[in-house]
């Protein structure tokens, strides 16, 4: 597994370490700094986006129970097909 560049995004963000890209043999201090700045600009752009509310209904819900007649009709159809 290749090594990763670990960094912090300022004094207030010392609790979060980032490693958004793997180290490569040709890395220099300047090239790594440029990638960190590009990464941070992208993080800031994502944070600046407006919040999009989700639907009021939860993403997952219990499936509805089919009517009793539908289950019986399906069972009758299966029995007729097997005869």
Domain ranges of the chain: 1-58
Position 45 scores a pLDDT of 92
pLDDT of residue 64: 82
Mean pLDDT per 10-residue section of the chain, whose length is 83 residues: 72 70 85 85 88 67 75 64 67
Which pLDDT score is estimated for 24? 84
pTM of the prediction? Answer: 0.48
What's the rounded Cα separation, in Å, for the pair 80 and 33?
A: 72
The whole-number pLDDT of residue 72 equals 54
């Amino acid at each position: 597994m290749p090594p990763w560049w670990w960094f912090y995004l300022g004094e207030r963000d010392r609790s979060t370490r980032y490693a958004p890209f793997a180290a490569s043999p040709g890395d220099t201090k300047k090239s790594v700094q440029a990638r960190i700045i590009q990464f941070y600009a992208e993080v800031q752009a994502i944070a600046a986006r407006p919040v999009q509310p989700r639907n009021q209904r939860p993403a997952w819900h219990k499936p509805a129970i089919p009517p009793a007649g539908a289950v019986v009709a399906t069972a009758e159809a299966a029995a007729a097909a097997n005869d």
